[in-house]
Structure 1
């Protein structure tokens, strides 16, 4: 198994894995991203999104897609892990752990304060896995999101 930065040629398989993740998260019709959008986000002139690939002798088994955030309290960047996904048949093979170790090493090398992500409350296999790594939930925090019509309506008031 190896972990490497994503290449342009990985865009189709990354999008395939994003669709698989959406199915796993019970949102099979939620993905609007296209290959062109993903390629621009990852490799365009103003790319601000990064991805790493986990692969073995059978090909790509998973990916991590992330971007930088910033902590005003720490005064430095951190990594926000948007998506982590490993194919079901490859789970338990260390791919997810290797992807997270890779992100942790990037954070350390760059002097970033943290690696953080969200997980669905019902996803106990992932929650148990994250806890086994030493990750802890932010018990006092909830995620809020403005999207769709609510975003349009609120933004129109500016």
Structure 2
């Protein structure tokens, strides 16, 4: 059951949900949220840091999926009036990238939460372009501990 009343598209609100800032913001819309799943979109702009020859490169696809996971954690903190925590990718496995999207296209990424314990989130995700799955992976993200240095 989608706990999100309506899509979140306002950039200021998105920035409250993730710790990333320009030029590395890789989500433009939060489209779905429940306790086991989150979904986002990204419209690919030519100014995107990961765009080369009008295509979003592999690291951009991976970062988009990671920031979708960050949206999951960030929205949970946001609805509880807490600041979104910082985190990082701990591991990626089973990654398969079939196609690179182009400038102007909109990615749709859905992430299923497999396990969440002590700041570590294990997910299975897929990214679609016009309904076609162009990337899938399992990812482990880790929340930065308060006493951890930059």
TM-score by length of 1: 0.28
Select the structure that is richer in helix: 1
Q: Write 1 or 2 for the structure with the bigger share of strand.
A: 2
Find the structure with the greater CA-based Rg: 1
Return the TM-score normalized by structure 2.
0.29
Query: RCO greater where, 1 or 2, for CA within 8 Å and sep 6 or more?
Result: 2
